[in-house]
Amino acid sequence: MKAVILAAGKATRFGGLKPLAPLFGIPIIEHTIRGLHKIDVRDVAIVYNDKRIKEYLEKKYPEIKFIHNPHPERENGYSAYLAKEFANGPFILVMADHYYSSNFFSFFKNFENMECERCVIFVSKEAIGPEEATKVKVKGNKVVKIGKNLENYDYFDTGMFYCTPEIFNYGEKLLSHEIIKLSDIMNSLARDGKLHYQIIEGFWIDIDTKEELKIAEKEIEKSMMKKGDGYISKLINRKISIRITKMLAPYNFATPNFLTLISFLFGLISFLLFFLHHPVLGGIMTQLTSIVDGCDGEMARLKKLQSKFGASLDAISDRYVDILIVLGILANLPINQLTLLSFFFAVTGVILFSYAWHLTQVRIKFGGRDMRLFLIFLFALLSPFAPNALLLSLLIVIGGITHVSVILSLLKLKLRGE
């Protein structure tokens, strides 16, 4: 499947080069390019007017085709028409100044094996700024009419389409008009009963103002949190890690796996500090490790670079850090049966907790890594007052909450009857 992104708009209300405006550290249009890449749509053309768009993107994405629109004043229907040569089969048509959540892109997987090709407009039940949005009136499984000023409508146009080359025939008929809006083309398809629609859940926004850019950034922040985030993660860690992720987002080196490596190094330093009998510094570094640990997943979701390898690397390197920190704590204690058993209790608990979570998918919030590393931070900070007692209790507490969580997750699964 190919894709066409319309980026020749004049952006009168926005000012500046809208498609390149940074949205959470990444140009708006790049979110869409990455979304298309995520579903393996790599044959992409961008219809542009301002050459700075081409100059910026062709360096980063050399495989993208660029189609120049010398008449942006003729509007987005004309821009779409210019993709006629490029789009000789079914294609995705999307606006450069819209932001969409991931499920919009992943939905196209459903079209791949579709027997009958047809034009489909993606519609939503809600819109940010509904008065400015394009409305859609439907009947049965077809669109009757679309337009900004429809009084009687069912859905909102999200600016994303699955098209067949037939739209170019309809575009051609309108070529004598000076202004050709995409909605004009779509309305002529609709009149012939050739425009279908697909209701889609999830966030989307047409970014016309700086305020709408802010709304989109808030939404991206929300999408970066994980459902199972623990209390410390929500209250402290995410607030900081999301800032770091945003700061690093513009840089190419800031891949999720690179951030996993950084977090691993932070963890190693925590271990060494504990191991070399600097428990206070070790504790502080442990909490920093906990914060930085959020960034790899956030960057993966932001840059749409999630992979099984990345997720596994993150999880396994976190477990190595976990057990090393517990070993580092032991290094501050005298070796005897009690400390060894406590160590055994803690070191097995920290791995088994994550093991149980991956198996059962039951999240025990108080037992998570965020809480555990925060406890290490607190106990270590206080450790100068009573090193042995505090660090030994720490091992027992870690062992206690993790093993109890393992049993609880099994019980919860049983109660749910799964």
Residue closer to a copy of itself by CB (options 86, 320) is: 320
Binder among 348, 363, 387, 397 for a copy of itself (CB under 8 A): 348
For the bound state, the minimum distance from the C-beta of residue 367 to a copy of itself, rounded and expressed in Å, comes to 14
Minimum CB–partner distance for residue 389 and a copy of itself (Å): 22
- Contact between 253 and a copy of itself (CB under 8 A)? no
Determine if 315 is a binding residue for a copy of itself (CB under 8 A): yes
Between residues 280 and 323, which has the closer beta carbon with respect to a copy of itself? 323
Return the residue of 175, 335, 338, 386 that touches a copy of itself, per CB under 8 A. 335
Is residue 356 within the footprint of a copy of itself (CB under 8 A)? yes
Q: C-beta of 344: minimal distance to a copy of itself in Å?
A: 6
Q: Which is nearer to a copy of itself, 220 or 330 (CB)?
A: 330
Contact assessment for residue 97 and residue 11, using Cβ atoms and an 8 Å cutoff: yes
Nearer Cβ to a copy of itself (114/316): 316
Q: For residue 359, give both structure tokens.
A: 């198996």
Piece in contact with a copy of itself (CB under 8 A), picked from 118-126, 154-162, 262-270, 318-326: 318-326
Which listed residue (115, 131, 152, 358) binds a copy of itself by CB under 8 A? 358
Q: Which of 56, 111, 258, 355 binds a copy of itself (CB under 8 A)?
A: 355
Nearest to residue 130, comparing CAs of 160, 150, 107?
A: 150
Instruction: Rule CB under 8 A: say whether 174 interacts with a copy of itself.
Output: no
258 binds a copy of itself (CB under 8 A): no
The region of 5-13, 149-157, 210-218, 316-324 touching a copy of itself under the rule CB under 8 A is 316-324
319 is a contact residue toward a copy of itself (CB under 8 A): yes
CB of 408 to a copy of itself, least distance (A): 12
Check residue 150 for interaction with a copy of itself (CB under 8 A).
Answer: no
Binding site for a copy of itself (CB under 8 A): 307-309, 311-313, 315-316, 319-320, 323, 327, 335, 340, 344, 347-348, 351-352, 354-356, 358-360, 406, 409-410, 413-414, 417-418
